[in-house]
Structure 1
Amino acid sequence: MITVNSKLRGLNLFFNKLQKKIGGTLKVTSNEQFLKINNNIGKGTIRSINLDGGISLLEFNITPKEDLKIAVDAKAGTHINFVYCSKGKISHSFENNATKNTVETFQTSIVSNIVSEENTITLYKGIETSSTIISVNTADDNSQQTDINNLLKDAFIAGKTKDYIYLGSYNLKIAEHIKQLKSIENKGVVRALLTKGIVNLILGLEIEQHKKDINSNANSNGSLTQNEMELIKELTDYVNNYPDLDHKINVLTRKIGLTAAKIQEGFKLMHGLTVCEYIRSVRLKKSEELIINTDLSISEIVYSLGFSSRSYFSKRFREKYNCSPRDYKKKNKLAMTA
């Protein structure tokens, strides 16, 4: 096992020490640190982003060749960490506490440092892991963020006398937004704005999931196993990549080998929608993209995406976008020529 300990305030100093310990190539910009390694310790990347309002992001995309334990500073009574694992698993423990809590694939978790000033993250040998930790410093006095930080402090710090960790439910929507976060190629101000927007959205989904868990007193993945959840993720990607195909439930069951009930349970858990509702939402989103970005007629779009009829498509499109597809197309053409 390799252990990286740090009592250094600030991510720049932390990454310098991390590089000295595990090697790799470090690239630093005004608000990002990016460490890439491919050696006897592991292969992958570790990235951090500093954002306004006391928010920072720490992202692991790495396959260690031996267990890797990394200690990250936190200020007691002010820091809240929202932990999510897109792939693999990670474990968390507080300073001077041997108890490890494991965050599995697609699982949400919230960590508040009440008395300790260090979080230890363990990445496991041979397990390809993608994990994102969004840290909020509730003591930050940024005027635009103060109200939100105060609400977070009231929810996850105030009144607590011990370090707090909440292992929540499984949420696939967050994985999709993290994928968007990783795909941002813009530079400068545009990059910063897009990053902040997606990070805020992920924070909102984490908090919403926690609220649902508390209200329903259900913070598990029901009867689904971890492998079954990964199959549901594969099925979700398949629907998104091929929205035009005939996704009847019996076809989907044969594709991944799960029962119709398991698939419905998985889609409800991960998307809050039935399979039919999710397929329709994907097709409507794709239809909007085609209306805006192509010269295809409405009829061509309808039948290219597998809708049963133009009238049915128009009805569902109006429900979602508050206007007909034809009017939507006209409005976008006017906007582009204005």
Structure 2
Amino acid sequence: MKTTNLNTNTIEAMFKQLKFNFGGTITKASKEYILDIKNEIGNGNIKGIALQGGISYIEFDMAFSDDVVVSVDTPNKNPIYFAYCSEGSLGHSFGANEKKRTLENFQTGILTSQLGDVNKLYFNKNERSKITLISVQTSNRTKANGKDNLKGKLLDTFFNEDAKENFVYIGSQNLKIAEKIQQLNAIKQKGIVGNLLVQGLVHVILALEIQQHAEDKHRQIPTGSLTMRDMELIKKASQFVKNNYHKQLSIPVLCLEFGISPSKLQEGFKGMHGRTVAEYIREVRVLKAEELIKTTDLNISEIVYSIGFSSRSYFSKIFKEKYNCNPKDYKDAQKVSPISA
């Protein structure tokens, strides 16, 4: 077993320590750090970015060659960690002696040490794990600018200064968070635009984790009948739709492709996307059409057929429902040149 100790309050210092322990190559784009690792220790990458309001986003997408423990100490900060497991599993404990808990595929976790204990993360040998950690610093509580801002609400909900035990919550499975993390990884923009997009999605993920905690606590939402295997298949089916939007897609086609029943397919899409299968396919196509209108010289009819629709009038109807503008007017608006001062 390999143990790595991280003792730092900054993303930059954390990645320097990760590189010292795991090797690899660090690249920095805007405020994001990426450590690519391909050696005897493991294969994959670790990403991290510091956001506004004392929030940091870290993602492990790694397969280690041995059991690995990452011991994280953030002096005087006492962060609240919001964890999500997209693939594999993650073990966690506070210090060496406290009970170890495991976050499985699609599960959420909220972790904070009231006593300032070290957070220990456990990665299994030869297991591909994709783990998201969003940390919110809890130092300077009195400077949180009131209880109405995000940090103030998080502190009041998950951090009791008088508590004598650490706070640990391991939630039920959540497919919606997996979708948002996919969107986060798909961001191509750099600089201020990329940072704003990341910041926005990280806040959405935080909101979904907090919502999950509230629903689990009050048991307002049934867990449904989906198994872990079913949820993984729903994730793959969703990506299949995104990659094959131009093909003739339907519930029978997806059920045959992924070996899942129609009822479970519908349940999974409603849970992950808040839409039926047909609605999701339509949404993916309309989004792609909007992209093609903006970035290509294809006319509307060519775009309609290229995204898998056969009726231009039907496409115009659903496009207008989404954007409150018919596609021809939208395309004509793209030709307007900016006015110089």
Which position in structure 2 is the counterpart of 1:196? 199
Query: What displacement does 1:126 show?
Result: 0.7
Query: What displacement does 1:179 show?
Result: 3.7
Q: C-alpha distance in 2, partners of 1:145/1:35?
A: 36
Q: C-alpha distance in 2, partners of 1:214/1:77?
A: 27
Local SS of the residue matching 1:333: coil
Query: What displacement does 1:295 show?
Result: 2.4
Contact (CA 8 Å) 2:29, 2:190: kept in 1 or not? Answer: no
* RMSD of Structure 2 on Structure 1 (CA): 3.0
Q: C-alpha distance in 1, partners of 2:166/2:80?
A: 10
Residues 228 and 32 of structure 1: CA distance in aligned 2, closer, same or farther (over 3 Å)? same
Larger CA deviation: 207-216 vs 282-291: 207-216
1:303 corresponds to which letter in structure 2? Y
Which position in structure 2 is the counterpart of 1:103? 103
- 1:66 and 2:66 matched: yes
Offset from partner CA, 1:155-174 (integer Å, 9 cap, x none): 22248723222223434443
Q: C-alpha distance in 2, partners of 1:143/1:157?
A: 16
Offset from partner CA, 1:161-211 (integer Å, 9 cap, x none): 232222234344433443444455555444433433333333334334444
Which position in structure 2 is the counterpart of 1:264? 266
- 1:170 and 2:173 matched: yes
Residues 102 and 314 of structure 1: CA distance in aligned 2, closer, same or farther (over 3 Å)? same
- 1:306 and 2:308 matched: yes
Contact (CA 8 Å) 2:266, 2:276: kept in 1 or not? Answer: yes
Residues 305 and 183 of structure 1: CA distance in aligned 2, closer, same or farther (over 3 Å)? closer
Local SS of the residue matching 2:40: coil
Residues 302 and 66 of structure 1: CA distance in aligned 2, closer, same or farther (over 3 Å)? same
Local SS of the residue matching 2:70: strand
Contact (CA 8 Å) 1:253, 1:263: kept in 2 or not? Answer: yes
Q: C-alpha distance in 1, partners of 2:77/2:156?
A: 11
Local SS of the residue matching 1:133: strand
- 1:79 and 2:82 matched: no
Which position in structure 2 is the counterpart of 1:328? 330
Which position in structure 1 is the counterpart of 2:23? 23
Contact (CA 8 Å) 1:3, 1:69: kept in 2 or not? Answer: yes
2:84 corresponds to which letter in structure 1? Y
TM-score of the aligned structures, taking structure 1 as reference length = 0.85
TM-score of the aligned structures, taking structure 2 as reference length = 0.85
Residues 96 and 317 of structure 1: CA distance in aligned 2, closer, same or farther (over 3 Å)? same
Q: Number of residue pairs matched?
A: 336
Local SS of the residue matching 2:246: coil
Local SS of the residue matching 2:133: strand
Unpaired runs of at least 5, structure 1: none
Which position in structure 1 is the counterpart of 2:321? 319
Contact (CA 8 Å) 1:77, 1:115: kept in 2 or not? Answer: no
Unpaired runs of at least 5, structure 2: none
Contact (CA 8 Å) 1:25, 1:37: kept in 2 or not? Answer: yes
Local SS of the residue matching 1:53: helix
Percent of matched pairs sharing the same residue:
45
Query: What displacement does 1:16 show?
Result: 3.8
Q: C-alpha distance in 1, partners of 2:173/2:245?
A: 24
1:107 corresponds to which letter in structure 2? Q
Contact (CA 8 Å) 2:43, 2:63: kept in 1 or not? Answer: yes
Contact (CA 8 Å) 1:171, 1:271: kept in 2 or not? Answer: no
